Chains A and B, each alone.
Chain A
Amino acid sequence: MTRSLVLAEVIDGVLAPVTAQAVTAAASLGGDVVLAVVTQEPHDLIEAASLVGVTEIVTVAAPGSDRDHEQALAAAAALVADVDPDQVLAGFTIRSSAYAAALGHLLDLGVVTDAIALRRDESGPLIATRSVYDGRVHAEVELDASRPGLVLVRPSTWEAAEPGGSPTVRSLAVDLPESRVRSVELVRPSGDVDLTRADVIFSVGRGVGSQENVAVFAEVAAKFGAALGSSRPIVDAGWLPASHQVGQTGTTVKPRLYVAFGISGALHHLAGMQNSQTIVVVNSDKNAPLFGHADVGAVEDIHDVVEQLNLLA
């Protein structure tokens, strides 16, 4: 029987949604699913971690912050030695990616990051599917069956396992090193907009071209009662404050209507808006990957469209 070890992601003392999704991915392989919770107060999380499909919870009390990837690496290495899994799963997130490949090297595991599907045919090797080349191509990667595999699953790809399981619980004591990466200051986002509350978001990407043009979109968005979002390069350029950025390292939004102007559709942007109710994409490149995630699309120059929108506002 196969055994999976799922490494939970804990942020600010709460189990991140990707953990329950990784449990579903692990449970789809059958066998035992051991969920490891490494955090300062793991006992506070036992109820949340008791997900359907989890057979055992192993807790590790860890003094460092949830951003301490050197601690996470040492804890994960001890957990793999203790649990002896056939595969290890975690979310494809910045926190996990910070140590996953190092763990793979230290323990000689096969590593696949950003998996969107996972299967094992009969007693064959584990096969993980990755989405590559802007999502145009899928690659099936075989993990060497002679060693455990380590798979980071893409968030929002598997359904979340439901609460209400009844796993056994035990703790594992691990000597954890002090991180060589010293935290000086933590800066949480703050800003002039709260995109998560907006029903309608007009979002601009690199196609907007200049700061003056951002102002045009801001004005039209305001006239329509829409909040103004953006892709990351607009914030990097200093054209909008960070609170406007939608995506993995920005805000995750689920408005009733998301209109993307001149945004190509990188995975990191999709991560922040793919669950919007209706998605509209305006892009002059008919091959922009974001069209593949849209309900309504137009192959047009965004400047022409905003000019017309202004007349209708």
Chain B
Amino acid sequence: MKVLVCVTQVLEVSTYVEFTADGRAVDPAFVTALVNEADLCAVEEALVLVEHAGDGEVVLVSAGEGEADEALRSALSLGPQRAVRAWADGVVASDPRSVAAALMAVVESESPDLVLTGVQSSDTGAQSVGPVLAAMWGVACVPVGRRLSASGSTLALEREFEGGIVERVEVDLPAVVTVQVGANTPRYGSFKDKMRAKKADIDVVVPSSLPPSRTTVARLCVALTGAGRSLELIEGGPAAVAARIADLVREVQS
């Protein structure tokens, strides 16, 4: 069984942020890059599927410029066999359709049985790359999935909905699944895998055609918090905090 897992680097911004001169991105001085949490759950899910199948491989792909290699290397350290990067000038990183088109070039060259993505990128949360990639590939997509198991060319899994509703579903392979954050506890790779990840060759696949981008990030600004409430901070240490909470509880219950 061959599973292709899409991973991406996400940005955590500091509390105080400034933007680039064109106002369309966060100034890199105010961000920390990490691997998207849900993607690591997808990698773990893929590794277990391939272990159970008894043979096959887990291949990673990320659509991005050189810095995407960092995400690929940290995900490789969990144990996948290979990693590929997809990029061409013209890929619009903020447009899930454009990102999916870049990933699609690797889906075509690798012909996997299954493609996994994380349910969302934690920084921008569009939940779109998996569904759009499935549409391009012409296969079914199961979003917000967990507990994947394969038998022959059938994949069984659970998908989640609002309000705690869970549906057990089956789908024929090939298919795309977006893996829910927290679906499993991703393993720490072995020392050997970590060393291998550091040195691994990462080929770059260049997508031959890209869809037009129908959205443009025009402007970023700092969000005003408050949500209509004004925050009163309790000072005075844990005892004072506890006393205030106890008062609030008694007010409600009296």
Contacts and interface: CB of A to CB of B under 8 A. Distances in A.
Residue among A93, A105, A141, A142 with the highest chain B CB neighbour number at 10 A: A105
Contacts of B217: 139-142
Interface residues of A, number: 99
Interface stretch (A35-43, A45-53, A241-249): A241-249
Interface residues of B, number: 80
Interface in A259-313: 259, 267, 274, 278-280, 282, 287, 289, 291-301, 304-309, 311-313
A242 B164 contact: yes
A188 interface: yes
B166 interface: yes
Contacts of A94: 143-144, 160-162
Contacts of A197: none
B13 interface: yes
A186 B167 contact: yes
A72 to B, nearest CB: 11
A311 B245 CA distance: 12
B192 interface: no
Interface in B218-254: 218-223, 225-227, 229-234, 237-239, 241-246, 248-249, 252-253
Nearest to A252: B163
Contacts of B249: 200, 224-226, 257
A278 B251 CA distance: 11
Given A135-B225, A236-B182, A257-B249, A301 B238 contact: yes
Given A138-B223, A184-B156, A308-B239, A113 B165 contact: no
A230 to B, nearest CB: 12
B204 to A, nearest CB: 24
Given A98-B143, A138-B223, A184 B244 contact: no
Contacts of B218: 127, 140-142
30 contacts: A67-B161, A94-B161, A97-B131, A98-B143, A100-B131, A101-B100, A101-B127, A101-B129, A102-B141, A110-B215, A136-B15, A137-B220, A138-B220, A139-B219, A143-B214, A147-B214, A182-B170, A186-B165, A189-B164, A249-B161, A249-B163, A252-B163, A282-B245, A293-B227, A294-B229, A294-B231, A295-B229, A297-B233, A298-B244, A309-B246
A185 interface: yes
A144 interface: yes
Contact of A232 (B136, B175, B182, B237): B182
A111 B231 contact: no
Interface stretch (B52-60, B76-84, B118-126, B193-201): B118-126
B112 interface: no
A133 B182 contact: no
A132 interface: yes
Contacts of A295: 229-232
Contacts of A186: 165-168
Given A108-B211, A147-B214, A137 B26 contact: yes
Given A137-B13, A189-B164, A298 B128 contact: no
Interface string B176-220: 000000110000000000000000000000000001111111111
Nearest to A249: B160
Interface in A84-111: 93-95, 97-102, 104-106, 108-111
A280 B252 CA distance: 13
B226 to A, nearest CB: 7
A184 B140 contact: no
